Amino acid sequence: MPSYKLFYFNVRGRAEISRWMFAQAGVKYEDIRIGSETWPEKKKECPFGQMPLLEVTDDSGSTHVIAQSSAIQRFLARELGMNGKDSYEAADLDMVGEQMKDIMMALPWTEKDEERKKQLTKEAIEGPIAKYFLQLENRVRDNGWFGRSGGPTVGDIGFSVGCEFLLHTVPTALDATPKLKALNERVRNMPNIKTWIESRPETKI
């Protein structure tokens, strides 16, 4: 059975979707959190000088290095059975993932003034992001998930992880989209994911 090492900083950020996927699948991995003192050296090992980074040692003993958060998530979705039952369902889930990227990119990440950043974040969530959520609401299937075959899939988990930050800032962000609100609660209350949320290291983001 493969062994996994996930490298990232001591924040949720771009590694949290992968952490939830490991938790839901019940697959053990090393959650390695890199500090500022060791990052310059680790950076040299990263294909693009960025984290997260996933190292997979397969059954033959060969180690494979996977960079870029989306590539890691899609790899894990295939390996852990969270990518749907066929290429069309996988594409549907990719669509959800890309929409969530657009949602997160609408936030004022580069704003330095904290008070202004908070206000701009609220405006983004109540403005363009609210429209994005209405579009995603239409992607929730009658089974309550983004995937035809049920969930949670990489699409469901990625959506719920993104909602953590958004709902922390604007608790009512999903009130106009009841299907999304129910889906988020469903994912967060899956026993393995709930255990991870309750036991993970405490970080700001």
Domain co-membership, 70 together with 8: yes
Tell me: the pLDDT tens digits for 71-89? Answer: 999 999 999 999 999 999 9
CATH code for position 152: 1.20.1050.10
Show the tokens assigned to 18: 């992968």
Domain co-membership, 70 together with 97: no
The pLDDT score that the predictor gives to residue 110 is 94
The pLDDT score that the predictor gives to residue 131 is 96
The pLDDT score that the predictor gives to residue 4 is 98
Is residue 199 assigned to a domain? no
The pLDDT score that the predictor gives to residue 205 is 84
Give the chain's domain count: 2
| Separation CA 53–CA 14 (nearest Å) | 10
Structural domain boundaries enclosing 31: 3-80
| Separation CA 65–CA 181 (nearest Å) | 36
- What mean pLDDT is reported for the chain? 96
Domain co-membership, 61 together with 92: no
Show the tokens assigned to 114: 């904290």
The pLDDT score that the predictor gives to residue 51 is 98
Q: Are 181 and 136 in contact (CB under 8 A)?
A: no
Residue ranges in the chain modelled with pLDDT below 50? none
Final residue belonging to a domain, choices 28, 55, 80 = 80
Final residue belonging to a domain, choices 21, 47, 80 = 80
Point out the residues that are catalytic: 8, 14, 109
Is residue 141 assigned to a domain? yes
pTM of the model: 0.95
